[in-house]
Amino acid sequence: MDSARQIGTVLVEKQLAACVNFIPAVESVYCWQGKVESAVEVLAIFKTVEAVFSEFETVLKQLHPYEVPEIVAVSPSAVCSDYLAWVIESVSPPQLTQ
């Protein structure tokens, strides 16, 4: 949880995410290097925009302790307009809000 919180804080401070939610104690079962593994992990849900996703991904990969972190973008079919405006205002680049 500490690592997730540190990574999330950096991404929000760099204005690459408006917000991050943490769901602790998610158990994962996966195949890694030919072996079935399991781990208790923290699921982090970041709110960002497509315009900064490439930089967001680069920074997240640099900070993440895993060799191959799970980074999945989900495009919502609908978002409350006030919330979307806040997300856009909260992330870089500044030209998004103009």
- Among residues 66, 61, 73, 71, the alpha carbon closest in space to that of 32 is found at 66
Residue 98 pLDDT grade (very low, low, confident, very high; cuts 50, 70, 90): very low
> Domain 2-97 carries which CATH code?
3.30.70.120
Q: What residue ranges do the domains of the chain occupy?
A: 2-97
Q: What pLDDT digit, counting tens, does each position of 1-58 carry?
A: 999 999 999 999 999 999 999 999 999 999 999 999 999 999 999 999 999 999 999 9
Peptide bond into 93 cis (omega under 30): yes
Say if residue 68's pLDDT is above 60. Answer: yes
